[in-house]
Amino acid sequence: MEKETKGVRTKRQIYQCAMDLFREKGYDQVSVEEIVRTAGTAKGTFYIYFHSKADIILEMLRQYDDYYDHVMLFMDPKTPVDRRMEEIVRAACRFTQEVIGLDLIRVLYTKQLGAGKAHKRLLNEDRALFGILAQLIREGQAEGVYRPEYSAEDVTMLLLRGIRAVFFEWCSSGGEVDLTGEC
């Protein structure tokens, strides 16, 4: 196991303070100055790790990916593929509701819409969830659980677009939509 460096600890501290402040006050009400003050670091240190406050949101995507990998690590591979598929989608909803929260998902979507193609990371074949879902779909197709007419990658993209649509509706409704039930 690698030893954690001071830089890794500092970046994590800044990220965690920012996320706590975003949840407490809302993204738009928090400044970089407040983040560094809370983190106990200099403003210049912030800019070593993040180009802007919006980069904290991109770091949040990495946290999502780590979470999905963690969920799959502890999932029994003998569990039927459709149940594993359902569990990873439920996990995505849980993490979004309980860890990320409504305000930060709104910010993520707003930043994504504003960035256009500049930040394609939100729905990307290189992301952990895409790989996990595609793997489960391929497995399900091989077992005859899922139909094989379309590639696992095409089905995964459609599934992720559907999940994003529900997340969008959840944001638009102010959290009134049952995120897990709808997904």
The predicted structure's pLDDT at residue 83: 96
Phi/psi of residue 42, each to 5°? -85, 155
**Could you tell me the sign of the dihedral formed by the alpha carbons of 67, 56, 156, 176, in that order?**
positive
- Pairwise pLDDT comparison (2 vs 87), residue with the higher score: 87
Residues 6+ apart with CB under 8 A from 96: 105, 167, 179
Collapsed DSSP state (helix, strand, coil) of residue 175: coil
Q: How far is the first Cα of the chain from the last one, in angstroms, to the nearest whole number?
A: 37
CA distance 80 to 7: 42
pLDDT in tens, 50-84: 999 888 888 888 888 889 999 999 999 999 999 99
H-state helical runs in 26-127: 32-39, 43-49, 54-73, 81-94, 102-115
Collapsed DSSP state (helix, strand, coil) of residue 163: helix
Confidence of residue 2 (pLDDT cuts 50, 70, 90): low
Q: What is the mean pLDDT of residues 102-128?
A: 71
The predicted structure's pLDDT at residue 63: 83
CA distance 87 to 64: 15
With beta carbons less than 8 A apart as the criterion, state whether 88 and 50 touch. Answer: no
